[in-house]
Structure 1
């Protein structure tokens, strides 16, 4: 009886976590890196991600003065944290001053992350956006 109760509780917790993560509001979902010089935001361009389909992310990079960072040395990689399925580079394009779009293809279902690296003369900055692939 106790083992069955534990199993049912674990299943409920897993379902609750999955529902919580899949219910993230895309309009407000973003992650931010900020220090005394740079602010970097990353957010998805689509409501959901699917296996073997392009997923796009918008990155906005600005100096703390508000000026956009133009021609940034930026790399974005898609990967599954804690898994050994590899890292998949995304194609990054500057769409307007300080605004970049990264497009990559997640290859399987599960928990993924888009990790952006901004290289400057003296420091590498990174911001990670977790997302679920259906």
Structure 2
């Protein structure tokens, strides 16, 4: 009985160890969120960029929203609406405050997340007869 037990326990322990190692590697990759998100809708590119410091709970954070044409020249939005929420949570949907940053038609979106975790910032931009939507995931830390 003991030889049979040794022959099965060691391979099972090896399989469990490999499985845990693979889970750790893929879980850490999956949690890495992009610093910026872009969408290209034929004529226009909308880019949302996270702040250099991770957003903190109940603290204002500023995201940069840039709108350019195909050649990379800045474009002014006729309408710009930004909202943010936590996927799969019931803490509500919030509207970001928007201000034009400078003459390059970049915009600053101020968000104040109410809890830690993963969030989504969604921008709906109207330029001409087009409405372009971009979604940008970000994570909120506990630091202040």
TM-score by length of 2: 0.72
Alpha-carbon offset, residue 13 of structure 1: 4.1
Partner of 1:66: 72
Which deviates more from structure 2 when the two are superposed, residues 87-96 or residues 65-74?
A: 65-74
Name structure 1 gaps, 5 residues minimum: none
**In structure 1, what is the Cα distance between the partners aligned to 2:117 and 2:26?**
15
**In structure 2, what is the Cα distance between the partners aligned to 1:49 and 1:87?**
17
Change (3 A) 1:35 1:71: closer
**In structure 2, what is the Cα distance between the partners aligned to 1:112 and 1:14?**
22
The alignment covers a number of residue pairs equal to 126
Partner of 1:104: 111
- Please say if 1:125 is aligned against 2:132: yes
CA contact (8 A) 1:71 1:94 kept: no
Name structure 2 gaps, 5 residues minimum: 1-11
Alpha-carbon offset, residue 72 of structure 1: 3.8
SS, match of residue 27 in structure 2: helix
TM-score by length of 1: 0.77
Instruction: Compare the two structures and name the one with the higher helix fraction.
Output: 2
**In structure 1, what is the Cα distance between the partners aligned to 2:101 and 2:36?**
18
Partner of 1:116: 123
User: Would you identify which runs of 4 or more consecutive aligned residues in structure 1 move more than 6 Å?
Assistant: none
Rg larger in structure: 2
